Amino acid sequence: MSEPENAKVKRRDLIRKGALATGLLGVGGTAALLATRAGKDRYVWQLDPEKCIQCGNCATKCVLRPSAVKVVHAFALCGYCDLCFGYFPPHFEPDSAIEEPAAESQLCPTQAINRKWVEGPHFEYTIDEDLCIGCGKCVKGCGNFGNGSLFLQTRHNRCVNCNECAIAIACPAQAWRRVPAGHPYLLKGEDRQT
């Protein structure tokens, strides 16, 4: 009983770092593209996840259908939990480790969150952005029971950067602001730059 760490966690940490790097590559690539497309002094719209209260307007007020706002995942904050309450509804009653839960056992009404077993009781959760409508329901579940690693962002490969963002006008939390096109995301945790 003197072993402080086990092999599982080391492997999970590696996986976690790998996943985080992949996520950052995606965001960084978009940022570079945007900066070129928009010019280095240009600004784009983004929402601050620390202010967002998941009112639902991000899903319904965007000029695009589905909304340009999607949920994104800060893997470095995630607990890789078997019972992720951003994935399962709060009344979910687990019988055992379930590998492929039925649609009715999922919190997301559009089944936009994919769950993949990593090892032991650890699962990785990724977002299918074509299915996500940015309703923020999973953000509430993760924030309430978990570490708040799921949060909303407008995705700049979709957003058309309206003069006046229709969501920003409707946002009850004043969570939207313009950010430099070179840093178009307001992330959570260690990835946050501004």
Partner 1 sequence: MATPAERQKSNQLGPEFQYDLTELRKVDPGLVHYEQSARVATGMQEPRGIAVAADGRVLVAGDTLVRAFDGAGKAVAEFVAPRPPQAIAVGPGGTIFVAAKDRVETFDAAGKRLAAWEPLGEKAYLTSIAAGEKDVFAADAGGRCVLRYDPSGRVVTRIAGKVDEKGAGGFLIPSPYFDVALGPDAALWIVNPGMRRVECYTYDGQFERAWGKASPRIEGFCGCCNPVHIALMADGSLVTSEKGLARVKVYRPSGMLASVVAPPSAFAEGTAGLDLAVDAAGRILVLDPRERAVRMFVRKKA
Q: Which residues sit at the interface with partner 1, rule CB under 8 A?
A: 1-9, 53-57, 59-60, 79-85, 90-94, 107, 109, 120-121, 135, 137, 140-141, 144-147, 170, 172-173
- Closest approach of Cβ 15 to partner 1, in Å? 15
Of the pair 5, 65, the CB lying nearest ligand SF4 is at: 65
User: d(Cα 97, Cα 91) in Å, to the nearest integer?
Assistant: 16
Q: Cβ neighbours of residue 130 under 8 Å, at least 6 residues apart?
A: none
SS3 content of the chain, % helix, strand, coil (to 5): 30, 15, 55
Using CB under 6 A, which residues numbered 107 to 166 contact ligand SF4? 108, 110, 112-113, 127, 132-138, 152, 154, 159-162, 165-166
DSSP of 93-150: --SS--SS--GGG-S-TT--EEEEEEETTEEEEEE-TTT-----HHHHHHHHHS---E
Residue 35, token pair as written in the block: 């900066």
Binding mask 70-99 for ligand SF4 (x = CB under 6 A): -x----------------------------
Q: Which of 20, 31, 34, 62 binds ligand SF4 (CB under 6 A)?
A: 62
Q: Cβ neighbours of residue 182 under 8 Å, at least 6 residues apart?
A: 31, 32, 34, 35, 40
- Closest approach of Cβ 152 to ligand SF4, in Å? 6
Of the pair 24, 170, the CB lying nearest ligand SF4 is at: 170
Q: Is 157 left (phi over 0), alpha (psi -120 to 50) or beta?
A: alpha
Q: Which does 132 bind (CB under 5 to 8 A by kind): partner 1, ligand SF4, none?
A: ligand SF4
Q: Which does 141 bind (CB under 5 to 8 A by kind): ligand SF4, partner 1, none?
A: partner 1
Q: Which does 85 bind (CB under 5 to 8 A by kind): ligand SF4, partner 1, none?
A: partner 1
Coil, helix or strand at residue 72 = strand
Contact (Cβ atoms closer than 8 angstroms) between residue 138 and residue 86: yes
| Footprint on this chain of ligand SF4 (rule: CB under 6 A) | 45, 47, 52-55, 57-58, 62-64, 68-69, 71, 108, 110, 112-113, 127, 132-138, 152, 154, 159-162, 165-167, 170-173, 175
